């Protein structure tokens, strides 16, 4: 085989792997985004007073799901945890921080305030990736980050309220989620190519459950609530976090962070379809901006790749 044919075959293989990673990174936030609509079907008492219990059960079931994958699919539970090493522990701590900061922020401030803070994740990820991975950030990606941030702001601007010190504290705690996310993506990019970091999701669920357990008592979830929380733990938390770990092996750090914003766009859509919560005109406009930013970033990247191939 000639060198040019070999290079062409390698390029096609890389593009196929990138497309598969893109699909996984679209599925992941789509699954994350069902949290709101499923939560709306929990008992009113649990919704009103059980945020820590919700976090506890979600984390427990996420750990069970990922642990089951490691035990019954990979058939190497202990070995995979050991091989994850320090990187796995650090990544697990970041997953736990994300799992807990989000729910804790919601107990102190509004959903809109929390989601606006989460919108800084792409910018935070880009800065950390530039610093620790020396990864160049192309102008198209900076533009996409700016457009997406404006879009998130437009989605929730009407609901943004900082009426007390408690609300401000909630927003400060909420910032722990995008910061931990950015650190986690950097860890995944730096070590995820040589070490399987799916076990870190199991560690994250376990650590999160242990952290919130003292605050979750007395437990009030009934059998129906636990079934819904198992659904969330398995398919809204455990599975999509595993998909992100796999996708991060092929995508850039900023691609992962930008595509994760689909959760914020799709969440109101599912709440509209499944719980009758009609989104405002500004939410629809902001969501369109975010989607435009994501499409712009990927389409320009694909075009440049195609031109480089010629």
Q: What is the 3-state secondary structure (H, E, C) of the chain?
A: CCHHHHHHHHHHHHHHHHHHHHHHHHHHHHHHCCHHHHHCCCCHHHHHHCHHHHHHHHHHHHHHHHHHHHHHHCCCHHHHHHHHHHHHHHHHHHHHHHHHHHHHHHHHCCHHHHHHHHCCHHHHHHHHHHHHCCCCCCHHHHHHHHHHHHHHHHHHHHHCCCCCHHHHHHHHHHCHHHHHHHHHHHHHHHHCCCCCCHHHHHHHHHHHHHHHHHHHCCCCCCHHHHHHHHHHHHHHHHHHHHHHHHHCCCCCHHHHHHHHCHHHHHHHHHHHHHHCCCCCHHHHHHHHHHHHHHHHHHHHHHHHHHHHHC
User: Whose CA is closest to 135, among 300, 248, 266?
Assistant: 248
Task: In whole angstroms, give the CA distance from residue 115 to residue 110.
Answer: 9
Sign of CA dihedral 222, 223, 228, 234: positive
Instruction: Please give the structure tokens belonging to residue 23.
Output: 């699909």
Residues near 4 by Cβ (< 8 Å), separated by ≥ 6?
A: none
User: Whose CA is closest to 55, among 284, 259, 274, 229?
Assistant: 229
This prediction's pTM: 0.89
Largest CA distance in the chain: 69
Task: In whole angstroms, give the CA distance from residue 129 to residue 117.
Answer: 19
User: Whose CA is closest to 95, among 227, 209, 256, 253?
Assistant: 209
Question: What's residue 1's pLDDT?
Answer: 53
Query: What are the residue boundaries of the structural domains of the chain, listed by start?
Result: 33-309
Which residues in the chain show pLDDT less than 70? Answer: 1-13, 159-161, 275, 277, 305-310
User: Whose CA is closest to 213, among 38, 57, 39, 14?
Assistant: 57
Q: Burial of 75 by CB count in 10 Å (0-12 exposed, 13-18 middle, 19+ buried)?
A: exposed
**Per-residue pLDDT tens for 61-90?**
999 999 999 999 989 899 999 999 999 999
Question: What's residue 307's pLDDT?
Answer: 60
Query: Are the beta carbons of 95 and 184 closer than 8 angstroms?
Result: yes
Q: How far is CA 200 from the centre of its chain?
A: 14
Q: How far is CA 75 from the centre of its chain?
A: 26
- From residue 161, alpha-carbon distances to 34, 168, 284 in Å are 25, 9, 20
Question: What's residue 4's pLDDT?
Answer: 54
Portion of the chain with pLDDT greater than 90, in percent: 51
Question: What's residue 305's pLDDT?
Answer: 63
**Per-residue pLDDT tens for 224-251?**
999 999 999 999 999 999 999 999 999 9
Phi, psi of 176 (to 5 degrees): -60, -30
């Amino acid at each position: 085989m000639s060198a040019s044919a070999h290079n062409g075959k390698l390029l096609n293989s890389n593009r196929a792997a990138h497309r598969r990673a893109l699909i996984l990174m679209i599925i992941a936030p789509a699954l994350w985004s069902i949290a709101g609509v499923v939560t709306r079907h929990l008992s009113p008492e649990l919704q009103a007073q059980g945020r820590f219990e919700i976090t506890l059960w979600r984390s427990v079931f996420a750990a069970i799901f990922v642990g089951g994958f490691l035990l019954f699919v990979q058939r190497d539970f202990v070995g995979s945890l050991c091989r994850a090493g320090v990187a796995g522990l650090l990544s697990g701590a970041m997953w736990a921080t994300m799992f807990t900061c989000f729910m804790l922020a919601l107990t102190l401030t509004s959903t809109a305030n929390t989601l606006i803070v989460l919108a800084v994740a792409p910018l935070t990820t880009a800065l950390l990736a530039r610093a620790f991975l020396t990864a160049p950030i192309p102008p198209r990606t900076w533009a996409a980050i700016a457009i997406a941030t404006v879009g998130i702001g437009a989605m929730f601007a009407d609901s943004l309220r900082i009426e007390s010190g408690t609300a401000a504290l909630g927003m400060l705690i909420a910032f722990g989620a995008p910061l931990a996310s950015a650190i986690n993506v950097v860890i995944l990019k730096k070590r995820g190519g040589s070490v399987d970091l799916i076990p870190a999701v199991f560690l994250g669920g376990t650590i999160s459950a242990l952290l919130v357990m003292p605050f979750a008592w007395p437990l009030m979830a009934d059998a129906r609530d636990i079934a819904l929380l198992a659904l969330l733990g398995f398919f809204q938390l455990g599975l999509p976090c595993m998909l992100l770990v796999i996708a991060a092996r092929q995508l850039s750090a900023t691609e992962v962070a930008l595509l994760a914003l689909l959760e914020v766009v799709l969440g109101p859509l599912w709440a509209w379809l499944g719980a009758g919560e009609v989104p405002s005109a500004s939410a629809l406009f902001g969501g369109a901006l975010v989607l435009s930013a994501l499409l712009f970033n990927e389409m320009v990247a694909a075009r440049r790749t195609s031109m480089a191939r010629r």
